[in-house]
Amino acid sequence: MNKFGKAILASVLAASLAVTPVFAAPDVEGIRQSKEASESALESLKNDLAKTIENINELEGQLVETGEKIAQAEVDLAAAQEKEDEQYEAMKLRIRYMYEEGNTSFLTGLLESKSISEVLNKAEYIQNVHQYDRQKLEEYVDTKKQVETLKAELEQQQAELMAKQAEFEEEKANISTMVEEKRAEVAELDEQLQVAIVQAAAEEAARRAAEEAARAEANQSVSDNNNHHSNSNTPSNQTNNNTSSGNSNVSGGSTSQGGSGDTSVAQAIVNAAYSQLGVPYVWGGTTPGSGLDCSGLTQYAHRVAGISIPRTSGPQGSGGKAVSNPLPGDIVCYSGHVGIYIGGGQMIHAPQPGDVVKVANVYGSPWYRRYW
């Protein structure tokens, strides 16, 4: 193959590389989905644990109430027993008195009566005393039985509540174990996600470097071919040289201060920002997963994508390329504050001390800078 054919082949290769779509590494999205599923399962387990603890607290209240009722039943039972004993002793005294006095005293009392009415009244009185003793004794016995029955029912209820409490305690222990296991799983997936994001960014940077090298080689081949034909000093070659030179200028045009405009790099920036959701705000913080401030977050997200930007918000807000129509991956700039634009009028930022990295609506009148 002659030099001209090689140049054409190189140009075609460079053009195909330039239009090849680039996507984030599939394992990054897969790990993120697994992490989100685990986080959802963790929240569900936390809700189950909260309900179980609520049930245990409710049972404890019922146990206290039942214990108080049992204690009162024991007091009532003791009082009923005391009343029964007192009535029984009183009845025994009256029976013994009547037995010791014998029928003579009874008959004497009747014979000494001055009228039949008095006789009947004394007889009725004695009968009423017997009936009263029996009635009271039966009442106290019935009361005692009722209290004993109530106490037995309360003790049975107490035993059932304690058994249910033991079941809930066991359930609580099991759910607590699952919560800790799920937390560990989420932490492990988060670590895997961070590694995958960094690897994907590194692979993307390497691919872009290979593309740039291929473009440079193709452009060099075209340039060499143009020089060759220019040296032949023929009109047709001169025409071809002019045409090729024009193509070379188009293919090898310089990029802007803001970078290459590769959306795959922008996606890597957004992915890195998403990976830090929930990380605490720390003033001056630059440690991903532990503590970040606003500019520490934006710097980290760009570093993952293979882009170096200034450390603080001021220089970040004045560097790169100014854009009026922001795209995901651009920096949202305020006076003394920055964030990562993610589209839909939203950004990911580290707001202030006491807060965490989170998604928020873009507010106020920011300006935007692009480094990709």
Q: Residue 278 in 3-state DSSP?
A: coil
Instruction: Quote the domain boundaries for residue 98.
Output: 24-253
CA-angle at 354, arms to 349 and 358, nearest 5°? 25
Same structural domain for residues 216 and 326? no
pLDDT for position 81: 77
pLDDT per residue as tens digits for the range 147-164: 888 878 888 888 888 888
Same structural domain for residues 61 and 146? yes
CA 75 to chain centre: 50
pTM strictly above 0.75: no
In a domain, 82, yes or no: yes
Q: Residue 102 in 3-state DSSP?
A: helix
Final residue belonging to a domain, choices 223, 253, 283: 253
pLDDT for position 256: 37
Residue numbers in the chain where pLDDT is lower than 50:
1-26, 102-104, 234-257
In terms of DSSP bridges, do strands 367-370 and 291-292 run parallel, antiparallel, or are they unpaired? unpaired
In a domain, 147, yes or no: yes
Q: Residue 339 in 3-state DSSP?
A: strand
* Cα–Cα separations (whole angstroms), residue 274 to 180, 315, 317: 24, 23, 21
Final residue belonging to a domain, choices 253, 269, 289: 253
Same structural domain for residues 358 and 232? no
Same structural domain for residues 315 and 356? yes
Same structural domain for residues 166 and 262? no
- What mean pLDDT, rounded, does the chain reach? 77
Same structural domain for residues 243 and 264? no
Same structural domain for residues 248 and 274? no
In a domain, 13, yes or no: no
In a domain, 9, yes or no: no
Same structural domain for residues 148 and 266? no
Spatial distance between the Cα atoms of 371 and 204, rounded to a whole number of angstroms: 16
Total domains, the chain: 2
Tell the burial category of 323 from Cβ atoms under 10 Å away from its Cβ (0-12, 13-18, 19+). middle
Q: Which residues contact 8 (CB under 8 A, 6 or more apart)?
A: none
Same structural domain for residues 175 and 287? no
Final residue belonging to a domain, choices 201, 234, 253: 253
What's 316's domain CATH number? Answer: 3.90.1720.10
